[in-house]
Amino acid sequence: MNIFFAIAFYFAAAVMTLGLGHKVFQYWSTPAPFRIPITPAPSTLPGVVLRMMAEVFLFKSLFKANKWIWILGWVFHASLVLVLLQHIVYFQKQPAIWIYQLQPYSQLAAYPLIICLSGLLLRRFLVDRIRYISSPSDFIMLFFLIAIALSGLLMMLFWQPNVFAVQQYFTGLLRLTLNPLPNHLLLYLHLLLVVFLLLIFPFSKLLHAPGIFFSPTLNQADNARQKPHRPSKTRFDNNG
């Protein structure tokens, strides 16, 4: 299992980085032929940055659209960030003190994480409009996330693997050395699902993460009068 997960994680990390890198390059290098910000839009760059931050951190448009989706989606993402931050301990030999200070919150965040994911899943089943637009992959994605979160939570609560050994294993991987991974079924499951998630990241709707920053309706300024939009015909010109 040591070697299997080592190979799997190296491979997944490579696919994820290269895949995402390629996608970001593609977004960046595809020309934006016209100015299409959704107005009212800010007319300056700082304004655009602010608008983007409101979308990325607060999900502002979603808030306007639908309070249920907003609360489920926002709490899910916020919890995910807290939980992921906690995972830094597995990649640093001497993790920073704030990570430990965050620990109690991160542990608590596992619950809203699972609750919100289940809520989103429930909506997908119950609301006729959302059921209609869902593909199998949309359900599968939620099942995966729930399985990852649940396996993590169960480990934390009832069946802890040797955390120190896990830390040794991953810090080792970062230094290209192979340490033993604890023999622990739930851990294996958790890691396997994560590997899979990393692998599909650049090929799935998870691309919304880099995508939002390139969305011309949000990232263009409303200043066509002062700064006419003249994309050159080359692929490498942006905003103009």
Look at the alpha carbons of 146, 111, 89, 159 in this order and tell me if their dihedral is positive or negative: negative
Name which position in 59, 76, 169, 170 contacts other proteins (CB under 8 A): 59
The answer for 59, left when phi > 0, alpha when psi is -120 to 50, beta otherwise, is: left
Chain positions 99 to 158 lying near other proteins, rule: CB under 8 A, are 123, 127-130, 132-138, 140
Half-sphere exposure of 85 (CA within 13 A, CB side): 20
d(CA 73, CA 62): 9
12, 198 Cβ separation under 8 angstroms: yes
d(CA 15, CA 17): 6
d(CA 5, CA 20): 22
If one asks whether residue 214 binds other proteins (CB under 8 A), the answer comes out as: yes
Closest to other proteins by CB, 27 vs 90, is: 27
If one asks whether residue 190 binds other proteins (CB under 8 A), the answer comes out as: no
If one asks whether residue 64 binds other proteins (CB under 8 A), the answer comes out as: yes
DSSP code of residue 206: G
Name which position in 5, 12, 16, 35 contacts other proteins (CB under 8 A): 35
Closest to other proteins by CB, 107 vs 238, is: 238
If one asks whether residue 23 binds other proteins (CB under 8 A), the answer comes out as: yes
145, 72 Cβ separation under 8 angstroms: no
If one asks whether residue 38 binds other proteins (CB under 8 A), the answer comes out as: yes
If one asks whether residue 216 binds other proteins (CB under 8 A), the answer comes out as: yes
Please report, as ranges, the residues that interact with other proteins according to CB under 8 A.
23, 26-27, 30-36, 38-40, 42-43, 55, 59, 61-62, 64-66, 69, 73, 123, 127-130, 132-138, 140, 200, 203-205, 207-208, 211-212, 214-218, 222, 224-225, 228-231, 238
